[in-house]
Amino acid sequence: MRSESSFEINGDLIIVEAIVVGPNGKAVTQLVLDTGSTLTTLVPRIAEAIGYSSANKVARSVVRSAVAVEHGYFVRLPQLTALGCTVPNVHANVAELGYDIDGLLGMNFLSDFNIEIRMAERRILLEKLAL
């Protein structure tokens, strides 16, 4: 399976649209494509909008960055759609990120695909890996 998607640039960040599904519905989000993040991350306001709270957590989490340590929790999203592809049962970290973004699209989503980023064209090509 192959797909092609456009993206926006905000400073040095690649922003992609994603649809996240939770127990109370779905939300259209703007996530930073982050190959340096092992997990997809949502900020609490997005998690709460689709029906998650720390009561729904799989486990607690700690996010460490160069400027802060944020405590959060892990949830399992029934479905995450981004870049023209839908992946079921995606674990996501819920934590404040300190920026005006909805979250990060991490490697736990991206690792199932070959990815080609064409900056000048603002396109991302995705191809499902044959496993």
What tens digit of pLDDT does each residue of 33-45 get?
998 888 899 999 9
Longest dimension (CA), the chain: 44
Domain 2-128 has CATH 2.40.70.10: yes
pTM over 0.95: no
State the alpha helices, DSSP H only, in the chain.
44-49, 107-110
Residue 46, number of CB atoms within 10 A of its CB = 23
Name the residue type at position 47.
A
Q: What angle do CA 108, 111, 117 make, to 5 degrees?
A: 115
What tens digit of pLDDT does each residue of 40-67 get?
999 999 999 999 987 766 677 766 554 4
What is the rounded distance in angstroms from the CA atom of residue 72 to the CA atom of residue 27? 20
Task: Please report the pLDDT score of residue 131 as a whole number.
Answer: 67
Residue spans of the domains in the chain: they are 2-128
Task: Please report the pLDDT score of residue 63 as a whole number.
Answer: 64
Task: Please report the pLDDT score of residue 68 as a whole number.
Answer: 55
What is the rounded distance in angstroms from the CA atom of residue 36 to the CA atom of residue 14? 13
Task: Flag whether pLDDT at 9 surpasses 90.
Answer: yes
What is the rounded distance in angstroms from the CA atom of residue 109 to the CA atom of residue 22? 16
Residue 26, number of CB atoms within 10 A of its CB = 17
Task: Please report the pLDDT score of residue 65 as a whole number.
Answer: 52
- The phi, psi pair for 20, rounded to 5°, reads -110, 140
Q: What average pLDDT does the chain have?
A: 88
